[in-house]
Structure 1
Amino acid sequence: MVISPNSTLLLLLSLLTVSLFLSIPTAESGSDSDSELVADLLALQSESKSGVIHLDDRTIARFLTSPKTPRPYSVLIFFDATQLHDKSELHLLELRREFTLVASSFITNHNNSNTKLFFADIEFRESQSSFHLFGVNSLPHIRLVGPNAKSLKDDSEQMDQGDFSRMAESMAEFVESRTKLTVGPLHRPPILSKTQMGLIVALLLISAPFVAKKIFAGETFLHDPKIWLSGAVFVYFFSVSGAMHNIIRKMPMFLVDRNDPNKLVFFYQGSGMQLGAEGFAVGFLYTIVGLLLAFITHLLVYVKNVIAKRVVMIIALFVSFWAVQKVISLDNWKTGYGIHGFWPSSWN
């Protein structure tokens, strides 16, 4: 059987048309797969009140390990463990709230239309395999999985734990520096609701005439010298106890001993960290010395009995010496630095 050249050309054109027709759905199917993943993430995001998607081993595989790179989105993941929520030194609950704040602010600022970045969390007991995939062995932990990350452990980016002290602000900066996306302003909820504010204003307006009458009559608690004395002592204790350091650094009052979970550690040996309890202990010793000095200079001078004065003076000096010696010994134990007294050279 002889095939004419025209028939051969027609056959080739038909095969080319069929192959092009078959290739079009294949290309579209890949695009549909990516769009389906994004649509599913948006659906999960809309179901969450905070906008944080809860992932587990199955959804980690579906959205991160199974899709081919580059994926059309990045995922910022907060690693959590409910059994560690009672460990106040980890601040997991507080960091989780700050993470939620960043997520909700990002979604609000982009009008729920941004599909380049999603926020998610993962819980240890539910997803131990995923924790192993990321190589997470300590908390708190936040990690960004970019579009080109193939290995969840090696290619994803971990947020420095030293930045957790700045909470939501540092999380937003981490997102902006790694994804080149703008988070925008953080929408922190107001301390008081509108109803509470209205009640406070109403109470202030009702009590204003009575308060004004008390002020003009000099009968308020602010006219009591004891209040000012107590306030001065409180400010002094607050200043010398390192309370502001504890607030800024969010330092715990104590730690649990790693070797014995039933034992609490109130004094941490090492100059790089100070617990709240040891700061308050040293502040209490300083306050004792300050109160004794104030008592001697302002009250003891009015005592007419010379023997009583001397006895009280000796006791005050002994207690003050003991308190200062305790502070010095604690500082030496904690930092290794010693304090030595030197006599004037003329006394030698």
Structure 2
Amino acid sequence: MAISLKSYHMILFTAIFTVLISIATSNSQTDLVSELLSLQSQSTSGIIHLNDHLISRFLTSTKTPRPYSILIFFDAQQLHSKPELHLQDLRNEFSILASSFITNNPSDHGKLFFCDLEFKESQSSFGMFGVNSLPHIRLVGPDAKSLKDDSIQMDQGDFSRMAESMADFVQSRTKLIVGPIHRPPLLSKKQLGLIVLIFLIWLPFVIKKIIAGETLLHDRKIWLLGSVFVYFFSVSGAMHNIIRKMPMFLADRNDPNKLIFFYQGSGMQLGAEGFAIGSLYTIVGLLLALVTNVLVKVKNVTAQRVVMTFALLVSFWAVRKVIYLDNWKTGYGVHGYWPSSW
């Protein structure tokens, strides 16, 4: 009977101890969530700025499973000057994703926290994650023990659609619904109201000018300049540069003081080389317009011949330069063709 009573006391003690440990662990995890929510509320964008100490506090020193997941944007201030990385643009899109998730999920935003990590401040954390290139986004799930092996890296191709592709990544990996992306308006209500007020004040004067035919839209020179601009914009690859956010030039890796304006290789086009080729095309187009619309009205035959010769020589030089640059960049040659018989 004594042994049975002793065993009963032991079982009771073990049960109480287990319950106390469970309560303590639960309270500890609740405290971590509360601390993360407090840090989140202090950020205007909803992104928590982490460092080595906070990584240890919320990830490496906590037991799994954690009651939350953490999505981390790895950043480096010294690389913001490199436009080809688009770190600032991606950081802004990450901020939009975070604020959208918090707005759309008031009851569930404690299950996923959006954080960033800066290289200079947290080099050891970068090493624990195994991050050696940017841009980089990584999801640390509730069951992740090893930051390098158990966390999930977002593929580089998923950055193409910015916040929308980031939301798809989150939803596919966490089973949480991000909801619609809320982008800030281009103009605030005050700015929009001021623009409307100025437009209403200016409207009577505009109507008067239109009726009198004295606006810029009635000036042929404006239309001429506009046509030349549209032509140059079309042939210089400006739209490509805007969409791909291509830099005008690059610094030479071998000599940082030297700038590269023409990049050899068909996989990339810098803004400067597009504008150079566009200028050559525009010169040929303007000379053709001069010959067909202005020169035909000149009565002096000698002047016509001189201008025509000049236009042909400059056009030949411009076209030859375009062909040479295309051959240098792509390796493809353009050869003249003469028919065997007429």
TM class by smaller structure = over 0.9
In structure 1, distance between residues paired with 2:168 and 2:4: 63
Question: Alignment partner for residue 139 of structure 1, among 117, 129, 134?
Answer: 134
Identity of aligned residues (%): 71
Cα displacement string for residues 296-325 of structure 1 (whole angstroms, at most 9, x for unaligned residues) = 100010111111111111111111111111
AA partner of residue 78 (structure 2): Q
Paired position in structure 2 for 1:79 = 74
Cα displacement string for residues 95-129 of structure 1 (whole angstroms, at most 9, x for unaligned residues) = 21111111111111112642221110011110111
Paired position in structure 1 for 2:40 = 45
Question: Alignment partner for residue 119 of structure 1, among 108, 111, 114?
Answer: 114
Whether 1:300 aligns to 2:295 is: yes
In structure 2, distance between residues paired with 1:14 and 1:76: 46
Paired position in structure 1 for 2:339 = 344
Whether 1:239 aligns to 2:208 is: no
Paired position in structure 1 for 2:183 = 188
Whether 1:254 aligns to 2:258 is: no
Task: Give TM-score scaled by structure 2 length.
Answer: 0.95
In structure 2, distance between residues paired with 1:298 and 1:317: 16
Greater mean alpha carbon deviation, residues 255-264 or residues 211-220: 255-264
Whether the aligned pair in 2 keeps the contact of 1:288 and 1:320 (CA below 8 Å) is yes
How far does residue 337 in structure 1 lie from its aligned partner after superposition? 1.1
Whether the aligned pair in 2 keeps the contact of 1:165 and 1:249 (CA below 8 Å) is no
In structure 2, distance between residues paired with 1:35 and 1:52: 20
How far does residue 160 in structure 1 lie from its aligned partner after superposition? 2.5
In structure 2, distance between residues paired with 1:245 and 1:328: 20
Question: Alignment partner for residue 283 of structure 1, among 267, 271, 278?
Answer: 278
Greater mean alpha carbon deviation, residues 223-232 or residues 109-118: 109-118
Whether the aligned pair in 2 keeps the contact of 1:89 and 1:255 (CA below 8 Å) is no
AA partner of residue 106 (structure 1): F
Cα displacement string for residues 220-246 of structure 1 (whole angstroms, at most 9, x for unaligned residues) = 110001111111111111111111111
Name the CA shift for 1:163/1:318 in 2 (closer, same or farther; >3 Å): farther
Paired position in structure 1 for 2:268 = 273
In structure 2, distance between residues paired with 1:83 and 1:317: 51
Whether 1:316 aligns to 2:314 is: no
Whether 1:170 aligns to 2:165 is: yes
Task: Give TM-score scaled by structure 1 length.
Answer: 0.93
- Alpha carbon RMSD of aligned pairs, Å? 1.6
Greater mean alpha carbon deviation, residues 55-64 or residues 7-16: 7-16
Greater mean alpha carbon deviation, residues 16-25 or residues 152-161: 152-161
Greater mean alpha carbon deviation, residues 231-240 or residues 246-255: 246-255
How far does residue 169 in structure 1 lie from its aligned partner after superposition? 2.1
Paired position in structure 2 for 1:64 = 59
Paired position in structure 2 for 1:16 = 11
Cα displacement string for residues 193-228 of structure 1 (whole angstroms, at most 9, x for unaligned residues) = 111111111111112111111101101110001111
Question: Alignment partner for residue 30 of structure 1, among 22, 25, 35?
Answer: 25
Question: Alignment partner for residue 89 of structure 1, among 84, 91, 97?
Answer: 84
Aligned length: 342
Paired position in structure 2 for 1:226 = 221
Cα displacement string for residues 238-266 of structure 1 (whole angstroms, at most 9, x for unaligned residues) = 11111111111111111121222222211
AA partner of residue 69 (structure 2): S
Paired position in structure 1 for 2:95 = 100
Question: Alignment partner for residue 325 of structure 1, among 308, 320, 324?
Answer: 320
Cα displacement string for residues 150-208 of structure 1 (whole angstroms, at most 9, x for unaligned residues) = 32223322223333343222222222222222211121111111111111111111121
AA partner of residue 83 (structure 2): S
In structure 2, distance between residues paired with 1:227 and 1:112: 57
Name the CA shift for 1:164/1:263 in 2 (closer, same or farther; >3 Å): farther
